[in-house]
Chains A and B, each alone.
Chain A
Amino acid sequence: MPNQLPRWRTNRRLAWSLTFVAAASLSFGFALVPLYDTLCRLTGLNGKTGEAATVPAGDADLTRLITVEFTSTVMPGLPWQFQPTERRLQMRPGEPAATTYVATNLSGRPIDGQAVMSVTPEVAAIHLKKIECFCFRRQPLQPQETRTLPLVFFVSPDLPEDVRTITVSYAVFPAPEQGSAENRSDLGREP
């Protein structure tokens, strides 16, 4: 088929198409951020835990007893004390459990903290369903103030058979700047 357009037109058209491809590739780079988030949420990779609004209907699995341990880390730059109230508890898959963490601002000025949760072993993470947790919510503490933070959750009966102990770990960071992107719940969603 004979080429209708002059050479320079064809060149320019192809050049713009390729620029469009490059721009699409750039968008893809940015899109990878929510894409990774979604993939991790769906697969439970990277220790992403599950969520639930309420305890599921149906019986608890009475044949298994799971040990859930609680640990805490205060990240550098935050003059807080942060501990779980109980180190471990025993529960059955499908049963809800509630526990608390206690945070104290040891310094003489108001400081906001923010906690991030992670769960090991990784295969168990998606099966730990949080009903209420204090992750990613800004916790302002006045000087010397102590606060009790609740965690309500259950372990789904789909938990693999060979997992008998789950460790829930909270790391509390100095909260990011006020009014910045972090406080948006869509970006800082529960893992």
Chain B
Amino acid sequence: MTSAAIHHEQHAHDDYEPRGLARWLFTTNHKDIGTLYMLFGLIMFGVGGLFAELIRWQLIQPGNTVLDPQLYNQVITLHGLIMVFGALMPVTAGFANYLIPMMIGAPDMALPRLNSWGFWLLPPAAVVLVLPFALRYFGIGGGPIDTGWTIYAPLSVQAGLGVDFAIFAIFLLGASSLMASINIIVTIANLRAPGMAMMKIPLFVWSWLMTSILLIAVFPALIAGAAMLLTDRHFGTHFFSAAGGGDPVLWQHLFWFFGHPEVYILLFPTAGIMSQILPTFARKPIYGYRAQVYAYWVICFLSVIVWAHHMFTSGMPVAGQLYFMYSTMAISVPLAVLFFCWLATIWRGSLSFETPMLFALGYIVLFGIGGLTGLVLADAVADQQYHNSYFLVAHFHYALFGGPIMGVIAGVYYWLPKMTGHMYSERVGKWHFWLTMIAFNITFMAQFFLGIAGMPRRIPDYPLPFADLNMVSSIGAFMLGASQLLLLYNIVVAWRGKGRTASDQVWEGAQGLEFTLPSPAPRHTFTEQPVVA
């Protein structure tokens, strides 16, 4: 097709492009859908963050009555569910949809209408999860789910209608994730441009392939468990009730069989982002491409056989504790491979410290701490003390915020110019980074010590000896929340075109097919298949 013909076809196509609300509701364009996912995730991040601030406000001093205990339980539960399922997973899915086709030289995802379905299930899921707040206001029910994000039986079997709403939200979220995963695997399998062999695709694409495999393997187990919980609650079954011959611990097994791979589902996409960002700002190729691919496979395999390290205090026989302890420690090896490949990438590189690089380096430090403290918890003996203490809370926040959230932010800064055509404010970006790093560490380092001192999690009030560290943590949390407004500012700056115009390559060391495209990326890209060297 000649260039004039393409041009003409593009214009003719544009005449049919819907505008306004219709465009966003019915779009099957991967960039539009990616944008929707990311916007949704950003809003959810704000809601989840608001809940976090409420929690820290309640805990800033002992004897507070900001939230009554039932409301407190609801807030901590929703904070967890929203951050995991409403913020982190949709944002990374947004990156996947936006970037994967561009990175492999495809015009769009393989199944565009499935893509649209996958996104549009999310807003109803969010509404369903939070609706009981409103219902309670009108006197119906006792409010949203309050069991903790892990929804343990027998409490969840007996609890109020918030649990039923959460179960339906899980069904919707599961369907959405499965659709996205199927789409991603089919896209990567079938839509790569000629010359784009599997061992040549960017590591971000690899990371999403592995994430999708894990999602398809384990999310249905959560769906099954949630269905069993629903029938236990309303249809007379007794999967989790000892009275009828069932076992509450079965829920724990089902949940964590999903729940542990879930943390790698949360991690992998941003690990992939790290492998894109670090080479750019080190002006060096990524170190250990093959090693990282193998590491992803090993982690993927191991992640489904270590789940009961979340259950060391549930009455497990010693043999079981030993096995899960050893296998959990083993999984740190391939994770360390990823980690060291990142370090080796920046080693002797020609480094510059733009905002994406700063967040990527912060990721290395904070996720490193998260990982090392995970090894402490993996010790079945130590875990008897630390299970469900603030040591655990600090560990998973270092792992989940220090890793994936920092990685998402890094990715936002990295690709925002590509998406919007304009740079963000580098000065504000640097402030955002440093304030986040400092505030985050104040908030959560204090919690490690609270855990060691014996403070359990999920409590709305605490004894006097824990007061000082709680105050420190809460002050840090307020600072952390406020700092994220700078991210919002910067997104708006780039979106509204207030910043410098971005070039095609955007960053001096950037490589990859997406950086051969104009910024902002046109609505339709690679409509003619490129040939990759």
A116 to B244, CA, bound (A): 8
Instruction: Kindly identify which residue among B190, B247, B249 contacts A11, using a CB–CB cutoff of 8 Å.
Output: B190
Per the bound structure, the CA–CA distance linking A191 and B190 in Å amounts to 50
CB 8 Å contact bits of B465-499 with A (1 = contact, 0 = none): 00000000000000000000000000000000000
Interface size on A, residues (CB 8 A): 40
Is A53 part of the contact surface with B, judged by Cβ < 8 Å?
no
> Which of B29-37, B53-61, B231-239, B369-377 lies at the interface with chain A?
B231-239
Q: Which among A11, A30, A136, A175 is the interface contact of B186 at CB below 8 angstroms?
A: A11
Scoring A30, A75, A122, A187 by chain B CB atoms within 10 A of each residue's CB, the highest score goes to A30
A11 and B244 CA atoms in complex are apart in Å by 46
Query: Which residues between 168 and 224 of chain B lie within 8 Å of chain A, taking CB atoms?
Result: 178, 181-183, 185-186, 189-191, 216-224
**Among the listed A15, A27, A122, A177, which residue makes an inter-chain contact with B110, where contact means beta carbons less than 8 Å apart?**
A15
Once the chains bind, are B223 and A177 in contact (CB under 8 Å)?
A: no
Q: Is the interface of A mostly helix, strand, loop or mixed?
A: helix
B245 at the interface (CB under 8 A from A): yes
Additional A-B contacts beyond A22-B216, A29-B224 (15; CB < 8 A) = A14-B189, A19-B178, A21-B217, A25-B216, A26-B223, A29-B254, A32-B250, A33-B228, A46-B247, A114-B243, A177-B236, A181-B236, A182-B245, A187-B238, A188-B244
138-191 of chain A: CB within 8 A of chain B: 171, 173-177, 180-182, 187-189, 191
Return the contact of B239 from the options A14, A21, A22, A33 (Cβ within 8 A): A33
With A29-B221, A176-B236 already in contact, the answer to whether A14 and B245 are too (CB < 8 A) is no
Q: Is the CB of A116 within 8 A of B243?
A: yes
Contact B220 A25 (CB under 8 A): yes
Q: How far is the CB of A57 from chain B (nearest CB, A)?
A: 31
User: Hey, which chain A residues are within 8 Å of B178, CB to CB?
Assistant: 19, 22
Give the contacting residue for A180; candidates B191, B223, B236; CB below 8 A.
B236
Q: Once A and B bind, how many residue pairs between them come within 8 Å at the CB atom? A: 112
Q: Identify which of B185, B228, B247, B250 contacts A18 (C-beta below 8 A).
A: B185
Contact B218 A116 (CB under 8 A): no
In the complex, which of the residues A21, A36, A136 contacts B245, with contact meaning CB atoms closer than 8 Å? Answer: A136
Given A18-B216, A29-B223: A176 in contact with B243 (beta carbons within 8 A): yes
Which size bracket describes the interface of B in this complex? 35 or more
Neighbouring A residues of B182 by C-beta, 8 Å: 15, 18-19, 22
A29 B220 Cβ-Cβ under 8 A:
yes
In the bound assembly, the distance between CA atoms of A176 and B238 in angstroms comes to 9
Residue of A nearest to B226 (CB): A29
B111 contacts which chain A residues (CB < 8 A)?
11-12, 15
Flag whether B114 is at the interface (Cβ < 8 A).
yes
Which residues of A are in contact with B by a Cβ distance under 8 Å?
A: 7, 10-12, 14-15, 18-19, 21-23, 25-30, 32-33, 36, 45-46, 75, 114, 116, 122, 136, 171, 173-177, 180-182, 187-189, 191
CB pair A32–B223 under 8 Å, yes or no, is: no
Residues on B with C-beta less than 8 A from A181 are 236-238, 244
For the complex, give the distance between the alpha carbons of A11 and B114 in Å.
Answer: 12
Q: Is there a chain A Cβ closer than 8 Å to B451's Cβ?
A: no
Sample of 14 A–B contacts (CB below 8 Å) = A15-B110, A21-B216, A21-B217, A23-B220, A29-B222, A30-B228, A32-B257, A33-B239, A36-B250, A46-B249, A174-B243, A181-B237, A187-B238, A188-B244
Chain A residues within 8 Å of B257, by CB: 29, 32
Complex-state Cα separation, A22 to B320, whole angstroms:
28
Q: Is B317 an interface residue (CB 8 A)?
A: yes
Write out, one digit per residue, whether chain B residues 231-269 have a CB within 8 A of any chain A CB (1) or not (0). Answer: 000001111011111010110011001000000000000
CA distance A22 to B179 in the complex (A): 10
Evaluate whether A32 and B253 lie within 8 angstroms (CB atoms) in the complex, with A11-B110, A14-B186, A15-B114 already known: yes
Determine whether the beta carbon of B216 is less than 8 Å from that of A14.
no
Min Cβ gap B476→A in Å is: 39
B217 touches A25 (CB 8 A): yes
Q: Are B224 and A26 in contact (CB under 8 A)?
A: yes
The complex places the Cα of A105 from the Cα of B450 at a distance, in Å, of 49
Say yes or no for B101: interface residue by CB 8 A criterion. no
Which residue of B183, B191, B216, B224 is within 8 Å of A30 (Cβ)? B224
B225: Cβ under 8 A from any A Cβ: yes
Q: How far is the CA of A27 from the CA of B220 in the complex (A)?
A: 8
Q: Decide: A33 near B250, CB < 8 A? Known: A14-B185, A14-B189.
A: yes
